[in-house]
Structure 1
């Protein structure tokens, strides 16, 4: 069950990051250049997809009775982390998204 919970929080963070980087001002804050329109649309789509995966993982861990409530908690936690990191360490906020593939490999081979 713990791997579903961890995955739910990680994918919620990646989803919030995708939605955040899909905004022109936040993309420019991290990368110091304007975001191309196609990339902006792609980041938003990937953000929503990651939030959907997060919802499914939370539902897998707790069932559909409590899963959506846990998902809202995961989104709140990851959103708060992103809000705290983005003003001071924007590259670190984006770099934490690299944890998701590492987590997947550990779950697959561990």
Structure 2
């Protein structure tokens, strides 16, 4: 159950990050360049898909009774993490999501 919960949390964070970087302002804050229109659309669609997958992982971890409630909690925590990281360590916010996936894979194998 903890792997599904960790996956849901990481997907929620990745989804919120994708939606955030889909905005020109935040993308420029992280990468110091303006994103193309196509890249912004890909980031937004990827963000929504990751949030949808996070919902599925939450339902898998907690069931239909508590899964949606837990999902809103995961989204809230992911949003809070981004709000705290982006102003001070914008690239760390991105690398946290990138490094989380291999780390989750290692935890799943153990």
Both proteins in one fold, TM over 0.5:
yes
2:9 corresponds to: 9
> How many pairs were matched up?
110
Answer yes or no: is the 8 Å Cα contact 2:6–2:104 preserved in 1: no
1:35 corresponds to: 35
CA distance, structure 2, for counterparts of residue 89 and residue 56 of structure 1: 30
Q: Gapped runs of 5+ residues in structure 2?
A: none
**Deviation by residue 1:6-42 (Cα, 9 ceiling, x = unmatched):** 1111100000000000000000000111011110000
2:26 corresponds to: 26
CA distance, structure 2, for counterparts of residue 58 and residue 103 of structure 1: 19
Q: Gapped runs of 5+ residues in structure 1?
A: none
1:96 corresponds to: 96
* Shift in Å, 1:104: 4.5
In the TM superposition, structure 1's runs of 4+ consecutive aligned residues that sit over 3 Å from their partners are 107-110
**TM-score w.r.t. structure 2 length?**
0.94
CA distance, structure 2, for counterparts of residue 6 and residue 108 of structure 1: 10
1:85 corresponds to: 85
CA distance, structure 2, for counterparts of residue 11 and residue 61 of structure 1: 13
